[in-house]
Structure 1
Amino acid sequence: MQQISKDKFTVVGNSKVEAEKISKPSLSFWKDVFMRFRQNKLAIAGLVILILLIIMAIIGPYLTKYDYRTNDLNIANQPPSAEHYFGTDDLGRDVFARVWYGAKISLFIGVAAAAIDLIIGVLWGGIAGYRGGKTDEYMMRIADVLYGIPYLLLVILLMVVLGSQKGSIASLATMILAMSITGWINMARIVRGQVLSLKNQEYILASRTLGASVTRIMGKHLIPNAMGPILVTLTLTIPSAIFTEAFLSYLGLGLTPPLASWGTMANDGIAAMTYYPWRLFFPAILICLTIFAFNVIGDGIRDALDPRLRK
């Protein structure tokens, strides 16, 4: 049979060598999450707002020559001007300095309460989900009992019990403690659900067969693989804590002077809203911006972690 020369043939499409080439570098899970998060314009806008608020909370009080606690009744209730950027309150204190000092306090309360909720919730939910059985039953029933206690009543009781410890630091610690006693329960439930769905996976069974300890399995496998829902819950816990502080301060159960937070400033400004609206406007708008920023960031992280949205 006559052999046909290869020169008479033309390769259509990619050659074998070109077909085996990797068209683009491989992406890790978190790089893929970051790329999809970056495509969410609303989440990026929330991230920019949050970064600006944090920067102003750090440098804002130093952008004016006035102190957040200095009183001067001669300049009480002055409207916003070149001298007082956000005006003054009824005691002649500079609202601009107080707003950004209050930002520091409000953000600290939100982050501190969320951090405590994260630690307790991950430990409690992780142990309950991994152990299962009666351990899970007892631990989650305890969480249900705590969750059933009226939140506001618990805060008032703590204020009464710890009321003898006067001082700004004591009131700040009391506020964080009050929000953390039951605030971790939602995190614990989410972590428990994730651990229950992951602990029977093949790689967990393999680690257990190879003699891995409970601490290693939790720290190396279960918690890292449940980090997506944990991050989403954490980003939604921080604005909830900030709003709770503002709400309690609005009711007069918040921080004691000379500490200033957005909630205490809103409480002071509501009485003067008709004649001096700037005293309420600035802390209220910053509360709204902060809650908006955290909520859209949380939504963006949730969408980026959703496997159904991957292409």
Structure 2
Amino acid sequence: MSSQSTSIKPLPSEPDDQSADSYAAASRWRLVWRRFRRHKLAMVGLVVTILVYVIAVFGEVIAPYSNSHLNADYAYAPPQQLQIVDTSGDSWDWGLHVHGYTMERDPETLEQEFTTDPDNQVPVGFFVQGEQYELLGLIPWDRHLIGPVASDTPMYLLGADQLGRDQLSRIIHGTRISMSVGLVGVGMGFVLGILLGGISGYFGGRVDTIIQRAVELFMSLPTLPLWLGLAAAVPREWGSVERYFAITLVLSLVAWTGLARDVRGRFLALREEDFVTSARLDGTGEPRIIFGHILPSFTSHLIATLTLAIPSMILAETALSFLGLGLQPPTVSWGVLLQEAQNIRVISTAPWLLLPGAAVVIAVLAMNFLGDGLRDAADPYKH
């Protein structure tokens, strides 16, 4: 009689708590991303926002000229049209180029007038050699994404300002300051809002009362006069870097109150939930309960709030700089560029100097669309 051996397969081991939490978090973010992709405007906002921050990081490469490049002979030069083929002659000439300027002075007003000369072609190329700079502040390089092939010929795709500086290059260089002020300011406000709001909502009692009275005090102050007063208190002799951080601090001082109230409400609603009670009975410390259990439960909501808060910071910096109380030249931001364009000459004869306003509108709309999409995707009650 032959005996048949049977092998017993071990039961699959139960996943530990850490792997289960990681799986649940991955599944939650996968659902958020699936709902976010259905929001078409949010996807457009995501693409535009990424492009704006790529321009902010690699501005020296993308800009045709440096921030200090100028040619006074071409003050208020109008925009040039980028062309691929030239049909002005008997035969078509292929090649990326712009038409040069013909300058004449009005005998009555003595105003310099510019007209495009089809016979004067200025060749344009990609990754052309130009002014030297430091890529990311570390690597010396002299290549620019687009620019004139000959360094002695001007190219003003978006026109020139009152000193003959390329408007396109200045808008690109200003992107870094304007977009980073929003990130840094909102980041500082988020640290204060999450920290104070979390402590207030979790512990309650006297701590909650003190923090909420401080929040109400800041919320009772009128925002615009407070910004104007604090920005005007910044000493004029400070350099551009000092003023940059001062304006960022000013903006973040009044940006945390709304988030603190929101986080407090979330903590008040979640601190009595079963998973928090279980963690407390299991001997988990208070910091881990706050930052490891309660806070991750609405992280997606915080990200959506962050995305919606950045545009308001960008607009605040632009408004302060436009009024002359924010950043000052030679620092370049979109608000500084608009401040330099507030005169009758710009409105009547050089409207291209108002293009930084279009950059502000595009960036703010893109981030608002992105924030709306994230908020809808993170809402568990929306399908």
Q: What does residue 267 of structure 1 align with?
A: 339
Q: What is the CA deviation profile of residues 129-183 of structure 1, one whole-angstrom value per residue up to 9, with x for unaligned ones?
A: 0011221111011011012122233333333433155110111111101101111
SS of equivalent to 1:258: coil
Q: What does residue 33 of structure 2 align with?
A: 34
The reply on whether 1:53 has 2:126 as its aligned counterpart is: no
Aligned residues: 285
Structure 2 CA distance, aligned partners of 1:64 and 1:254?
Answer: 24
Q: What does residue 183 of structure 2 align with?
A: 111
Contact 1:121 1:188 in 2 (8 A): yes
SS of equivalent to 1:172: helix
Q: Give the counterpart letter for 2:27 in structure 1.
A: S
Contact 1:68 1:95 in 2 (8 A): no
Structure 2 CA distance, aligned partners of 1:278 and 1:227?
Answer: 42
* Alignment equivalent of 1:217, drawn from 267, 278, 289: 289
More helix by share: 1
Instruction: Give the gaps of 5 or more residues in structure 1.
Output: 1-25
Q: What is the CA deviation profile of residues 35-84 of structure 1, one whole-angstrom value per residue up to 9, with x for unaligned ones?
A: 11011111001111111112222334333442212333211111112411
Q: What does residue 8 of structure 1 align with?
A: none
Structure 2 CA distance, aligned partners of 1:249 and 1:160?
Answer: 11
Q: Give the counterpart letter for 2:352 in structure 1.
A: W
What is the TM-score when the length of structure 2 is the normalising length? Answer: 0.71
Q: What does residue 235 of structure 2 align with?
A: 163
Does the C-alpha gap of structure 1 residues 47 and 276 become closer, same or farther in structure 2, counting only changes over 3 Å? same
Q: Give the counterpart letter for 2:348 in structure 1.
A: T
The reply on whether 1:277 has 2:276 as its aligned counterpart is: no
Q: What does residue 175 of structure 1 align with?
A: 247
Q: What is the CA deviation profile of residues 259-287 of structure 1, one whole-angstrom value per residue up to 9, with x for unaligned ones?
A: 1111111122232122101010x211111
**% identical aligned pairs:** 35
Contact 1:235 1:298 in 2 (8 A): yes
Contact 2:63 2:172 in 1 (8 A): no
Q: How does 1:45-194 map to 2 (within 5 A)?
A: 45-81=44-80, 82=98, 83-163=155-235, 165-194=237-266
Structure 1 CA distance, aligned partners of 2:70 and 2:378?
Answer: 50
CA RMSD of aligned residues (A): 1.8
Q: How does 1:298-309 map to 2 (within 5 A)?
A: 298-309=371-382
Structure 2 CA distance, aligned partners of 1:64 and 1:207?
Answer: 54
More strand by share: 2
Structure 2 CA distance, aligned partners of 1:165 and 1:75?
Answer: 31
Deviation for aligned residue 1:245: 0.6
Structure 2 CA distance, aligned partners of 1:265 and 1:87?
Answer: 13
Does the C-alpha gap of structure 1 residues 291 and 64 become closer, same or farther in structure 2, counting only changes over 3 Å? closer
Instruction: Give the gaps of 5 or more residues in structure 2.
Output: 1-23, 81-97, 99-154
Q: Give the counterpart letter for 1:76 in structure 2.
A: A
Deviation for aligned residue 1:212: 1.2
Does the C-alpha gap of structure 1 residues 87 and 298 become closer, same or farther in structure 2, counting only changes over 3 Å? same
Contact 1:190 1:230 in 2 (8 A): no
Q: Give the counterpart letter for 1:97 in structure 2.
A: S
Structure 2 CA distance, aligned partners of 1:212 and 1:251?
Answer: 52
SS of equivalent to 2:283: coil
Q: What does residue 367 of structure 2 align with?
A: 294
Contact 1:191 1:226 in 2 (8 A): no
Structure 2 CA distance, aligned partners of 1:29 and 1:301?
Answer: 13
Structure 1 CA distance, aligned partners of 2:58 and 2:197?
Answer: 39
Q: Give the counterpart letter for 1:127 in structure 2.
A: I
Query: Once structures 1 and 2 are overlaid, which stretch shifts more, 226-235 or 162-171?
Result: 162-171
